[in-house]
Amino acid sequence: MVRRNAERRAALVDAAIEVLAKEGARGLTFRAVDVEAEVPTGTASNYFTSRDDLLTQAGARVYERLEPGEEIIARQRASTPDRETYTVLMREVVDRVSAFRTGYLALLELRLEATRRPELRTVLTERVRADMAANVSYHEQSGLPGDATAVRLLYLAFNWLIVEQLTLPDVFSAAERDRLVEAAVERIVGV
């Protein structure tokens, strides 16, 4: 029987994210999640039908936690839709994702695991496509400079910048990272 306590389930999924970041996909077991969540042994197995279910829910949860808050969205909508605003927005994205280090590292682990698990690959592909479509739509509605291709190119560039920041943090200083964000927006958006 799968349990329904939403708060406990969220805590277990958050614990799974931490395990993925620390131990990798091979270290993700129900027992490891129980230990990380500090719950009795067997708790995670009461909430998830399988390890695949846990992997899939962890992937979805990372994306939920990376979404910008309403205050960020409201501030951006109230800003002038120019390259400077775009640069500030992109810096905030890089900072927000980098601040959730374990989430992004867990997501990288999930992407690697998705190469071996077709169901997980399907879930992640659908999620990334939906997020990309939402980002392009938001961009088009916001009046920010650039087109859909610019949004996609910035997504690709900043994903790797974030990987560098989280895995090899001494490659670029914070000041260099900021300059790279500004240069990417300037060169890709071109306005």
Q: How far apart are CA 52 and CA 44, in angstroms?
A: 13
Q: What CA–CA distances, in Å, run from 190 to 83, 132, 142, 145, 146?
A: 9, 21, 17, 8, 7
For residues 122-138, give the mean pLDDT: 92
Q: How far apart are CA 43 and CA 39, in angstroms?
A: 7
Task: Check: CB of residue 94 under 8 Å from CB of residue 158.
Answer: yes
The single residue listed with the structure tokens 């799968």 is: 2
* pLDDT confidence of residue 77: 86
| Eight-class DSSP state of 5 | -
Taken in order 104, 109, 114, 120, is the CA torsion positive or negative? negative
Q: How far apart are CA 80 and CA 176, in angstroms?
A: 25
Q: How far apart are CA 132 and CA 23, in angstroms?
A: 29
Task: Check: CB of residue 18 under 8 Å from CB of residue 63.
Answer: no
Q: How far apart are CA 90 and CA 155, in angstroms?
A: 9
Q: Which CATH architecture has domain 1-60?
A: Orthogonal Bundle (1.10)
* pLDDT confidence of residue 2: 59
For residues 57-75, give the mean pLDDT: 89
* pLDDT confidence of residue 120: 87
For 10-54, write each residue's pLDDT tens digit. Answer: 999 999 999 999 999 999 999 999 999 999 999 999 999 999 899
Task: Check: CB of residue 53 under 8 Å from CB of residue 12.
Answer: no
Q: How far apart are CA 56 and CA 43, in angstroms?
A: 18
Domain 68-190 fold is Tetracycline Repressor; domain 2 (1.10.357)
Q: pTM of the entire structure?
A: 0.85
Domain spans in the chain, listed from the N-terminal domain onward: 1-60, 68-190
Q: Supply the Cα-derived Rg of the chain in whole angstroms.
A: 18
